[in-house]
Each structure stands twice: as C-alpha cells, then as structure tokens.
Chains A and B, each alone.
Chain A
C-alpha cells in the first residue's frame, strides 16, 4: 500500500522477508508441491495436477468473484446459494441451446449480485447481513424452482455437458475457464481504472468518496461480478454433475473465503489480488490432494486440518504484518 521511499538497497534478508510477507502462500505452495514430489511418484504427473486444478476450478471461480468483494472490504455469503440458483436456471434453459443456458445461469446470478450490491451501496445494509439474507432467500428460490428435487440435464444438451466434461487440447474445459477468468480478473484489478477504484474504496471508503470516486457504483459492480462468477461456477458444476441440485454449493462461501484469506487478501479490504487468490485456491487443493494420497487420514481429520491450517495462516500473516508495521 504505502509505497516505500527509495532508500539504501534492501539486503538479501530484507528482500527474502518481503517475498515471504507478500507471497507466503506461493512459498507454501512450492513447499507443498516439492513435498508431494518427494513422497509420491504419482503426484507430479500432469494427470494428477490437472485433476487438482479441475476439482478446484469451481470453488476457484467463486473465490475470484469473492476477491473483488473482499478487496472493497465487503463479504459475499450468498455465493453458494446463488451457484445453486444458476445451475437450476441453466438446466431449465438448456433446451434453448448451450449459450442460452450459460447466459441464463450467469445472468440470474449477476442479477442476484446486483440486488446485493444495491442493498449494500444504496440502502446501506452491512454486506454480511445483506448477503446472509440473500443466501437464505436464494436457497429458498433454488428449492422452490426444483420442488426440492435434483433436475437432470436433458440428454440433448451436449454443448452444456462439454462445458464441464469436455477438453480443449490437453486441458479440461473447466481448467481453461478458470485460467481465462483469473487472467481477466488479474488484468482488470491491476491495469484498469475500475481495478484501482476497487482498491481505493477498500482502502478508505470515505477518502475515495471525497476524491470523487463513484463509490456506490464500484461496490455494486463488485457484487455483480461476485454473483456472475458464482453463477458460472454453478453452470460448470451442473454440467459436470449432469443435473441441477437445489442443495449444490452449500458451504462453498466458506471454502471461497478461506481460499481468498489463505492467498493473502486482507478481509479489511484494499490489499490483495486475483493472483494471490489463485495461489490460495491451488494451495488448499494441493493440501487436500496430499491428504488423500496419504490415505490414512480420515475425511473428518481432513476437516480438522483444513480449519487448523486456515488459522495457522492468518496467525502467521498477522504477525508478519505487525512486524512489518513496527519495524
């Protein structure tokens, strides 16, 4: 944030600490990959690695949208339920063609995001509560629209099935989508005026307003982005499962927030980015994969380890940040 003044060239140790501070998740990811390579022959095959990325591609999309919101200092708890609504919409529109299905899923999700954003920016209800209520309402919508049943994808909708199960060259389609989405998110946040406004709003909303930034518009757009990416994830999930499930995505908001936080984006806003979130998503995915390869760790212990890992990361992040601001 505050640009360091040019002083004497930083020592090797200082530079090392700075890398740790800003790219701690990346360092951890490299360590985890090296550990996996040393321990399991099958780990570092392209098949296993692609599998990890594909499995985490949907949470990754949700986490990318969540990054925009968290950068403004907000939060979006509704993404899991929005994802389910988008999946349902995609299945119902699949008979009009693949594009219509995708547009319907992403569109309805973006619309819910728009409502979130308007309630937060215009009615000034806290993001936590707005999106909590939207999470409840959207889950109700998904349950009502499906009669609380799983709705299978029509057999003719091969285009939609391709989205989740197809491949482009050697890469699964969800992986390509994930990479494209993150590349776009990274460019938007880093190199566009809107991206800089997102950081400014998250850093200090009052100052941003005084500077004449259209704070409300920035906020609304970030929630639309979050909804749209959750919707895209919902369409991909439906395509992978071959059906829309009204309970899909339950708890995904927590996974997405965990990935954003582990990556290093700060919940108070203004600091972080898309690249960090991608690292966070991959790090959590790799750790889960390693626990699975280990085979002796029961799924329940995996939950314990995931929670403990999240805590450990934020404790260390906090210490390093305080050390940085004190030193």
Chain B
C-alpha cells in the first residue's frame, strides 16, 4: 500500500503515549466509556445474560483477530481467514463419522495447511500478502463447498461436538474460554518468547532483522500458519454452534471484522508493533456497538456506518506518528 513513506517521526512528541500505536490504553478507555453509556441508556444491557452474550458473540472474532494480529505485526494481512473457517467447518462436519477427535484434528490440520501455504508463497515467492490471501480466499471458499458434498448443508448430529460451540464451563461459554486461553497464550508468546521478538523485528524492519540473525522467513510462515490454525478453531466453533456446516456462509466477511478489531485495538498496520490485549478490546468494542444498536432497535445500516467511522478514527490517531 502507499501511505506517505517518509518515516521520519518528527511529530511523535505531539501524540500522548496512551494513543501511540502498540498501546491499547486508548481502546480500553473507549470500551469502558461505551459500556458505561450503554449501562445507563440501553435497557437490559447491564445484565449477566447480556454480558455472557456479548463475550460469546465476540469470541470467534477474537480468535481470528489474534491470528490476524500476529500477521499484521509482520506488516502483512490475511484475507483468507473466513474461507479457512469454512474449510475447517466442512471438513469436520464431513469427517465426524470417524469420531470427534480425529475429525477435529483433520479439520485443524487442513486449516493450518492453508495458512502454511499462504506463508510459504508470501516468503518464498515474495508475492504481496494481499494477493496471496485474496487468491486463497477465493479458492478456499470453493474448496469448502466442494468438501461439503458440492455445496450441501451438512448437518451435525453429534452431541459431543456441539459442546465446543454451545457448552459451558461453569457459567462461562466454552468459546469464551477457548478465546481467552488463546489470547493469553498469544500475548505471552509476543511478550516473553523469542518468537514474539522475531515477529516484531521482522515486521518493523525485515532487512535489519535478517542482518541481526532473525529467521525472518520462518517467523513469517509461522505467523500465517497460526492465523490459519486459529481461523480453523473459529470455524469449528461456528459449525458446532450452528449444528450444521454451511460452506456458503461460515466466516463470510470475518476478515473485515478481524482487521477492524486489530486496528481499533491499536496494532499498527505497518507492522513492528502489536498488542493482543488491544485486539481483544477492539473486538469487544465492535461487539458492544453491534449488540447495543441491536437492543436499541437502531437499523443495522447505522451500526455499519459507526463501525466504519470508528475504524477510520482509530487509524487516523495511529498515522499521526508518521507525519
């Protein structure tokens, strides 16, 4: 993409630290304000059932957006996540006869493989991430349809598998538990493991990272592979929740929601900086808006407009450091 490429950060001092890219504080404040406003003005918003409902509905976007954060931290993008969700969902639905564990494993392996192919083509053939993942978005959606017996709705009659999307652990819905565990693991990896430092340095300045001995290629491939795997998990949750695999619908446009969550959370699209916590907050902001507009009976179209405005505003704050 373009954007002014003069990376001299003359204006950096004008931006307070809590608004700087890589910081989630601005997003957190926005989330708190949103929740407080809704608690006062939206009837039935501040209830336990709605609390779990918001978390449950945000959990799939959180899973996909965590993977997307890793990819965006490298300066890349993954448009294929929605199709990967559909692939994982239809593979699992078709293979459930083999038992829950093998079907889940095969489905996740398929999703991981798509991510690995994305990463390999991007690093080895040096094709822009947006083109590679656009192609796997198109091909992946077709593949998901082919796998589900040529575009059929595949019903799932396996109570054990339905726990994934509809079950609870204590009061907490299973998808929320999975999303939180994944987010925590990713935050830990980003902060405390060599992979995290490799990721940020490869995204910040690939040439310098390579000179410093960072395995840039392997790091990038890992990021895309993880993005595929996490999209696969989200896909399994989705078909388990629906009780069927609908390859035409599962995960459509989730890449937009995920990118929005990442950007609103404070991760810079230019790479080199990332915050998993911010991404989770970003996904929650988007979900709180969607849920409260729904409860206030505001037309869907207006929630789309507000979503667009929030994304633009978040990036407008980010770009200020590069003026």
Contact = CB atoms under 8 A, between A and B. Distances in A.
A144 B131 contact: no
Interface stretch (A41-49, A53-61, A72-80): A72-80
A261 B2 contact: no
Interface string A288-302: 000000000011111
Contacts of A125: 3, 312, 315-316, 319
Contacts of A133: 307-309, 311-312
Interface stretch (A97-105, A235-243, A304-312): A304-312
A287 interface: no
Interface stretch (A134-142, A162-170, A184-192): A134-142
A269 B2 CA distance: 9
Residue among A134, A136, A202 with most chain B CB within 10 A: A136
A34 B2 CA distance: 39
A9 interface: no
B276 to A, nearest CB: 20
Interface string B6-27: 1000000000000000000000
Given A267-B131, A307-B137, A310-B131, A143 B304 contact: yes
Contact of B130 (A73, A75, A311): A75
A304 B312 contact: no
Contacts of B186: none
B322 interface: yes
A297 to B, nearest CB: 11
Interface in A242-272: 254, 257-258, 261, 267-269
Interface in B142-160: 142-143, 145-146, 150-151
Contact of B308 (A128, A134, A202, A299): A134
Contact of B305 (A132, A140, A303, A318): A140
Residue among B1, B126, B146, B322 with most chain A CB within 10 A: B1
Contact of B1 (A123, A128, A144, A306): A128
B141 interface: yes
A132 B3 contact: no
Interface stretch (B33-41, B62-70, B190-198, B295-303): B295-303
A254 B319 contact: no
B134 interface: yes
A127 interface: yes
A170 B285 CA distance: 56
B311 A126 contact: no
A119 interface: yes
A201 to B, nearest CB: 8
B4 to A, nearest CB: 6
Contact of B135 (A130, A307, A319): A307
Interface residues of A, number: 55
A310 B141 contact: no
A320 to B, nearest CB: 12
A124 interface: yes
Contacts of B323: 124
Nearest to A312: B135
A205 interface: yes
A22 to B, nearest CB: 19
Residue among B77, B126, B301 with most chain A CB within 10 A: B301
Contact of A72 (B2, B151, B301, B303): B2
B237 to A, nearest CB: 24
Contacts of A75: 1, 130
Contact of A318 (B127, B151, B312): B127
Interface string B200-226: 000000000000000000000000000
B29 interface: no
Given A124-B323, A144-B299, A300-B146, A307 B312 contact: no
Interface of A: 72-75, 119-120, 123-130, 132-137, 139-141, 143-144, 148, 202, 205-206, 219, 254, 257-258, 261, 267-269, 298-308, 310-311, 314-315, 318-319, 322
21 contacts: A124-B322, A125-B3, A126-B3, A128-B77, A137-B309, A140-B308, A143-B300, A148-B301, A206-B6, A254-B134, A258-B135, A267-B128, A267-B131, A298-B146, A301-B146, A303-B138, A307-B138, A310-B134, A311-B127, A318-B126, A318-B127
Given A126-B1, A140-B303, A305-B142, 17 more contacts: A73-B2, A123-B316, A127-B1, A128-B77, A129-B311, A132-B311, A136-B307, A137-B308, A205-B2, A254-B138, A267-B130, A269-B2, A300-B150, A303-B141, A303-B143, A307-B135, A314-B127
